[in-house]
Amino acid sequence: MREPPREWHIDEPQARRTQPIAVLAASAAGVFQPIKNMLRISCPHCGIRDEVEFAFGGPSHVTRPAFEVSDAEWADYLFNRENPKGIHYERWQHAYGCGRWFNAARDTVTHEILAVYRMGDPKPVLPGAPRGRAP
Ligand SMILES: [Zn+2]
């Protein structure tokens, strides 16, 4: 197999990526173009895979309030989400793999995924992470 052109390689720290990525996507003109800056996500069930295998599921650890709460509290639950600059706890699904959901702690500045953990596990305490709402 031929080595992909140099411009398809993504230079990142070895700790995050060990192999060059040469993934193609069809453009509107039908020409395949390299996808750059793809995340490598570690599924807690399958291991490290390319981002294209995953679906983002929104913020994690969002707890539905009881029915007795006020309209303002319901509105806050339904419409307001945290948007931190820094560590964000998220749900991801390995949609084109095992199909299972898991949580990840991702830095929204660098996109580095700092931790992945199974659904139901407590969120890891990471330095600089916001305390957020209920766990
Ligand atoms: Zn998986």
Distance 42 CA to ligand 1 centre (A): 8
Give the count of alpha carbons within 13 A of 125, CB side only: 0
pLDDT tens by residue, 49-75: 999 999 999 999 999 999 999 999 999
- Say which CATH architecture domain 45-135 belongs to: 2-Layer Sandwich (3.30)
Distance 55 CA to ligand 1 centre (A): 11
Does residue 117 carry a pLDDT above 50? Answer: yes
State residue 77 phi and psi, 5-degree precision: -65, -40
- Work out the pLDDT band at 31, boundaries 50, 70, 90: low
Cβ-proximal residues to 80 (8 Å cutoff; 6+ apart), any chain: none
3-state helix, strand, coil in the chain (%, to 5): 10, 30, 60
Distance 122 CA to ligand 1 centre (A): 19
Q: Of the given ranges (16-20, 31-35, 75-79, 89-93), which has the lowest mean pLDDT? A: 16-20
Distance 4 CA to ligand 1 centre (A): 27
CATH 3.30.2270.10 residue ranges of the chain are 45-135
Residue 55: CB atoms within 10 Å: 13
